[in-house]
Chains A and B, each alone.
Chain A
Amino acid sequence: MTKFVKGNEAVVIGALYAGAEGYFGYPITPASEVAHKAAEYFPATGRIFVQGESEDAVAYMLYGAGAAGCRALTATSGPGFSLMQEAISYMSATDIPTVIVDVMRAGPGLGNVYPEQADYGQVVHGGGHGSYRCIVLAPGSVQEMCDLTMLAFEKAFEYRTPTVVLADGQLGQMMEPLRLPKGEAAPVDTSAWATQGTPETRRNLLTSIYLDAPEQERMNVRLQAKYARMDREFQRSEAYRCEDADVILLAFGSSSRVARSAVDALRADGVRAGLFRPITLSPFPIDALKPLAGRRLWAVEMSCGQFRDDITLHLAKAGILPSGGIGLINRMGGMLISVKDIVRTVKEAL
């Protein structure tokens, strides 16, 4: 069955089918519909909804929920995500799984409520204190707002790490037909490590304090080993018309939708263009990108070039430095990138 829903509602539907037991929310435009729908659907299906007093409180509620071995989520936008960073660092250090959806708006500061992708750095690189990073999934459609929220729960619990669904205002607000998931996720057994208030979990302890520096270093090494394992096992991306492409547009989220239209428009104009769309921003899908690195690359993004710079870094670490660098086609402040701008920029550079 399909339902015609906003991306923000699709997140809630995905969370429900993923077996989410609790939603802990704080309102912020353009993410608020996630909380609205969660307030409607969670209690109506026997689950928990709590409106917290702030985003930092909500993030610690997620930490509490995760420590109790429960599947819980929240959704926010840039300013709220900034406030959650402390708790995300704690959760990362304590191997606590949780899911946070960031429906990005324009910044910095108070900014406005139109779409931007400038939370890239603070979300993808672990914006809080210490050497950690989250799994970051980037949906490109309403269907993926649902499907990747489900996947986020699966991976968060598989790796025991906070997982972020990095969306934007346009994805949150737009509507598309959503195919409802086929079945509900099975319960997860967390009794080996969570504090559930039961006899078998009584000795479980969740903390991230290591006063002894060598011990703290071992903890860091273990964490980095986990991230390295994630990098090996969990890279996802999508390539559209890349096979024979001379020009590859690199984009995620709403920008990937414009880029897809631009690929078709460029091809109609005789330019062999393709689109490479990371679905996992962390781990970055470097294995799939590497074979395309010799083409003319353009990053299409709604930020100052954070995504472009990160791709440059990933390619450099893989031993590849694209000649001429990666071009940047971007808008900021809530302005959408137009197909026309992409086509013109790419053609002018040829």
Chain B
Amino acid sequence: MATLGTKGMFDVFTRSGSESRATHYCAGCGHGIIHKLLSEAYTELGLQDRTVIVNPIGCAVFGYYYWDVGGVSAGHGQAPSMATAISRLRDKAITVSYQGDGDLAAIGLGHTLQAAARGEHMAVFFVNNSIYGMTGGQMAPTTLIGQKTTTSPLGRNPATDGMPLHLCEMVNTLTLPVYIERVSVADTARIMKAKAAIRKALEIQRDRKGYTFVEILSPCPTSVGRSPLDAAKFVIEQMEKEYPLGCLRDRSAEAPVRPEPKPWVSLAQFFGDDGSEEPRHEAAEVCERHFKFTGFGGQGILSLGLVVADAARALGLETTWLPTYGPEQRGGDAACMVVTSTHTIGTPAIEHPELLVVMNQAACAKHLHTVRPGGLAVIDSTVRLPDPLPEGIRIMQIPAIDLATANGVPKAANVAMLGALIALDALGIPAHVVTEALERSFARKPALIEPNRRVLRAAVDYCRHHGLTGELP
């Protein structure tokens, strides 16, 4: 075979590992024609340098032997996923996904429709030859009713094999695709129309208009078991009945142009990093404290722990905060553990806290026995204490829920509890550091700072009034 001498294609197919000038396609196969139409289109439009073709699994896996453009091989059915990333990250690239029917319509159907639904900027060329070619002539989603294949030896039977998929029509149910057309390469007149469609799809990419889907009905003489001429006749007489040719959508005139990418923002600026270093808490002796906060979801248990942890961090201590978590994070038990230390912290999952905060009955039953000997449990007054009380620990009851409600912020029971912990000096962190951490936690809701301050003060006053003070054991 003579060299193709086609614009945009290699003259000698050295990428095939040989000095071949013949394609690997069978006589009468449509791929060679479609390859040529595609390469003529990107070359004539001046897009050859910018074109990246995602090569599929299937006979066209070796498209890169011929196309003199950037090439990458896809996993089966995954060309749209790969093209999505290429197009998003290299917005000047002309991104092409070239796929057959098994690849695009069977294993890759979901990815095809999802990329189309997202309106990715890519040109999809869907070569529909009604059969798996390379793998050995098996039934494809586009195999016609009654068509014999190696996996439908008696002919495709709708009762067991279902009905053919119509991809253009499926893509046409989606909002964002800009251009959808079905063409054929079964004869010269059809080839000229196919060329126009392929060119239009690339123009739309060049003009940054969006997703295009061109289905190309194509003969596969070997797998449909016909001569080249009969295979072309099969396309015209049978496939085109099932898959009518024509343009289903052209919104190229009105589709908006893809905006240029935004410049990157400096991360120091984005995170407000002025380069300053927090003070490090220097201490020779290891001083590690274990706190556990417990209650039910919605009581602000995790936030309470977070304020304590953030206060310790601000003090320059090593700090860990570990929540219990689940698949959904509403309701049910809530608990978090906080460890603060002058030194590197081992496990954040502590077993025996020296301070336990309990905000509901269930948490009391679950956690009270875990307090280490000599430890302190601070429990909301609504919780009935067990009888007998566990030995060797101190227990204090604080009406945190009542105090929050009495001060008009029923949701701030956790803040009332924090006030009690400050008054009791149970955290080993100076009061003003804890208060500042609390106020930082409301940075996005400044209106809440004053009501919460009120609750915090009420709790501190309550403890002082009732002589509840003390140091952490």
Q: Nearest A residue to B78 by beta-carbon distance?
A: A60
Q: Nearest B residue to A112 by beta-carbon distance?
A: B327
Q: CA–CA, A13 to B270, complex, Å?
A: 11
Q: CA–CA, A263 to B351, complex, Å?
A: 16
Q: CA–CA, A340 to B372, complex, Å?
A: 13
Question: On chain B, which size bracket covers the interface?
Answer: 35 or more
Q: Is A54 an interface residue (CB 8 A)?
A: yes
Interface contact B86-A64, CB-CB below 8 Å: yes
Q: Is B64 an interface residue (CB 8 A)?
A: yes
- Quick one: CB contact mask for B249-282 with A, threshold 8 Å, 1 for yes? 0000000000001111111101111111110000
Q: Nearest B residue to A340 by beta-carbon distance?
A: B351
Q: Which of B68, B89, B310 contacts A202 (CB 8 A)?
A: B68
Q: Which of B114, B273, B319 contacts A177 (CB 8 A)?
A: B319
Known contacts A17-B267, A46-B265; A195/B71 CB under 8 A: yes
Q: Is B395 an interface residue (CB 8 A)?
A: no
Q: Is A225 an interface residue (CB 8 A)?
A: no
Interface contact B347-A48, CB-CB below 8 Å: no
Q: How far is the CB of B325 from chain A (nearest CB, A)?
A: 5
- Quick one: CB contact mask for B95-111 with A, threshold 8 Å, 1 for yes? 10000000000000011
Q: CA–CA, A292 to B270, complex, Å?
A: 45
Interface contact A46-B264, CB-CB below 8 Å: yes
Interface contact B346-A260, CB-CB below 8 Å: yes
Question: On chain A, which size bracket covers the interface?
Answer: 35 or more
Q: Is A318 an interface residue (CB 8 A)?
A: no
Q: How far is the CB of B20 from chain A (nearest CB, A)?
A: 13
Known contacts A67-B86, A258-B347, A339-B347; A61/B50 CB under 8 A: no
Q: Nearest B residue to A90 by beta-carbon distance?
A: B75
- Contact stretch, chosen from B51-59, B139-147, B378-386: B51-59
Q: How far is the CB of B114 from chain A (nearest CB, A)?
A: 4
Q: CA–CA, A23 to B313, complex, Å?
A: 30
Q: Is B452 an interface residue (CB 8 A)?
A: no
Contacts of A215 in B (CB 8 A): 17
Known contacts A53-B111, A206-B73, A260-B346; A212/B17 CB under 8 A: yes
Interface contact A201-B270, CB-CB below 8 Å: no
Interface contact A205-B64, CB-CB below 8 Å: yes
Contacts of A201 in B (CB 8 A): 70
Q: How far is the CB of B340 from chain A (nearest CB, A)?
A: 11
- Quick one: CB contact mask for A1-29 with B, threshold 8 Å, 1 for yes? 11110000000010011000110100001
- The B interface, classified by DSSP as helix, strand, loop or mixed, is mixed
Interface contact B349-A4, CB-CB below 8 Å: no
Known contacts A57-B78, A260-B346; A202/B267 CB under 8 A: no
Q: Is A180 an interface residue (CB 8 A)?
A: yes
Q: Is A94 an interface residue (CB 8 A)?
A: yes
Q: Nearest B residue to A205 by beta-carbon distance?
A: B71
Q: Is B15 an interface residue (CB 8 A)?
A: yes
Interface contact A198-B50, CB-CB below 8 Å: yes
Interface contact B72-A67, CB-CB below 8 Å: yes
Q: How far is the CB of B437 from chain A (nearest CB, A)?
A: 10
Q: Is B216 an interface residue (CB 8 A)?
A: no
Interface contact A4-B71, CB-CB below 8 Å: no
Interface contact B94-A22, CB-CB below 8 Å: no
Interface contact B348-A198, CB-CB below 8 Å: no
Interface contact A45-B270, CB-CB below 8 Å: yes
Q: CA–CA, A45 to B319, complex, Å?
A: 29
Interface contact B90-A44, CB-CB below 8 Å: no
Interface contact B313-A197, CB-CB below 8 Å: no
Q: CA–CA, A340 to B50, complex, Å?
A: 62
Q: CA–CA, A281 to B163, complex, Å?
A: 50
- Quick one: CB contact mask for A161-179 with B, threshold 8 Å, 1 for yes? 0000000011001111100
Known contacts A1-B273, A4-B319, A46-B263; A257/B52 CB under 8 A: no
Interface contact A197-B348, CB-CB below 8 Å: no
Contacts of A206 in B (CB 8 A): 71-73
Q: Is B69 an interface residue (CB 8 A)?
A: yes
Q: CA–CA, A4 to B93, complex, Å?
A: 40
Interface contact A339-B85, CB-CB below 8 Å: no
Contacts of B268 in A (CB 8 A): 180
Q: Nearest A residue to B120 by beta-carbon distance?
A: A50
Contacts of A250 in B (CB 8 A): none
Q: Which of B54, B71, B278 contacts A1 (CB 8 A)?
A: B278
Interface contact B68-A175, CB-CB below 8 Å: no
- Quick one: CB contact mask for A242-263 with B, threshold 8 Å, 1 for yes? 0000000000001001111111
Q: CA–CA, A149 to B335, complex, Å?
A: 29
Q: Which of A67, A205, A260 contacts B347 (CB 8 A)?
A: A260
Interface contact B90-A196, CB-CB below 8 Å: yes
Interface contact B81-A261, CB-CB below 8 Å: no
Q: Is A299 an interface residue (CB 8 A)?
A: no
Q: Is B61 an interface residue (CB 8 A)?
A: yes
Known contacts A199-B49, A203-B68; A53/B85 CB under 8 A: no
Interface contact B326-A113, CB-CB below 8 Å: yes
Interface contact B267-A64, CB-CB below 8 Å: no
Q: CA–CA, A258 to B351, complex, Å?
A: 11
Contacts of A16 in B (CB 8 A): 267
Q: Is A80 an interface residue (CB 8 A)?
A: no
Known contacts A46-B263, A206-B72; A257/B346 CB under 8 A: yes
Contacts of A58 in B (CB 8 A): 81
Known contacts A61-B81, A68-B90; A175/B309 CB under 8 A: yes
Q: Nearest A residue to B326 by beta-carbon distance?
A: A113
Known contacts A62-B85, A258-B347; A202/B320 CB under 8 A: no
Q: CA–CA, A65 to B82, complex, Å?
A: 7
Q: How far is the CB of B47 from chain A (nearest CB, A)?
A: 9
Interface contact B320-A87, CB-CB below 8 Å: no
Q: Is A209 an interface residue (CB 8 A)?
A: yes
Q: Is A306 an interface residue (CB 8 A)?
A: no
Contacts of B270 in A (CB 8 A): 41, 44-45
Interface contact A29-B327, CB-CB below 8 Å: yes
Q: Is A70 an interface residue (CB 8 A)?
A: yes
Residue with the highest number of chain A CB atoms closer than 10 Å, among B90, B272, B273, B345:
B90
Known contacts A22-B89, A173-B322; A52/B81 CB under 8 A: yes
- Quick one: CB contact mask for B26-61 with A, threshold 8 Å, 1 for yes? 000000000000000000000011111011000001
A-B residue pairs in contact (CB < 8 Å), sample of 8: A4-B306, A46-B262, A53-B114, A65-B89, A195-B71, A205-B64, A212-B17, A340-B351
List the 3 shortest-distance A-B pairs measured between CB atoms, nearest first: A197-B93, A261-B346, A195-B70
The interface of chain B, by Cβ under 8 A from chain A, is 15, 17, 48-52, 54-55, 61-62, 64, 68-75, 78, 81-86, 88-90, 92-95, 110-111, 114, 118, 261-268, 270-278, 306, 309-310, 313, 318-323, 325-327, 344-349, 351
